[in-house]
Amino acid sequence: MAGDGPTLTNLVGVLALQGAFGLHVDALDALGVESKLIRVESDLAGVDRLIIPGGESTTMSMMLDRNDLREPLAARIGDGLPVFGTCAGMILLAVDVSDGRADQVGFSAVDIGVRRNGYGRQNQSFTTELPVPVLDAAIPAVFIRAPRVERVGDGVDVLAKLDGDPVLCRSGSVLVSSFHPELSQDRRLHRYFCDLN
């Protein structure tokens, strides 16, 4: 199980343009993993994996362009940089996005189709205990205006489902979740990501 051995990462970048990036830093701190906020291209130096947090995906998409980060990040992800996208991060990493803005552009790093706000509006947010077989455990999963996975392509492993729908997927070094693991005190999914090789 991931987390039983030493962490493979040296420095995790956390995209800090908008959203809940600080809580991911807290989660990494709790694991003793060094992190670095990513706002401009030069911040990517020395980073060996990246977290794209939840937030507002259209705003994050615009900020990527405003900060000239889209192309450098796309290149690093294309070269195999391990990346973990949570909620809005899942949307930015997906190949297909429904109910998004026409000018919203993502990284197309994982072959899934998602629907923005697929689990409802803010007032329909919920928390559930989610069984995750790769962790040999159930973890608290917080869903806030979460994307719903509507299509899973070849080469994508579904690591957890909620009512039959994928909510945690992996494709090579790309991990995505519909939910916010950083909003609980359970750090096992962050540890799993840090141990990905």
**Active-site positions?**
87, 180, 182
Query: Distance (Å, rounded) from C-alpha 80 to C-alpha 124?
Result: 36
Cα separations in angstroms, 164 against 60, 130, 188: 29, 12, 22
Residue with the two structure tokens 């999963």: 141
Cα separations in angstroms, 61 against 11, 17, 36, 126, 186: 24, 9, 20, 26, 28
Question: Which tokens in the block code for residue 69?
Answer: 């980060």
Q: Is the dihedral of CA 132, 135, 136, 138 positive or negative?
A: negative
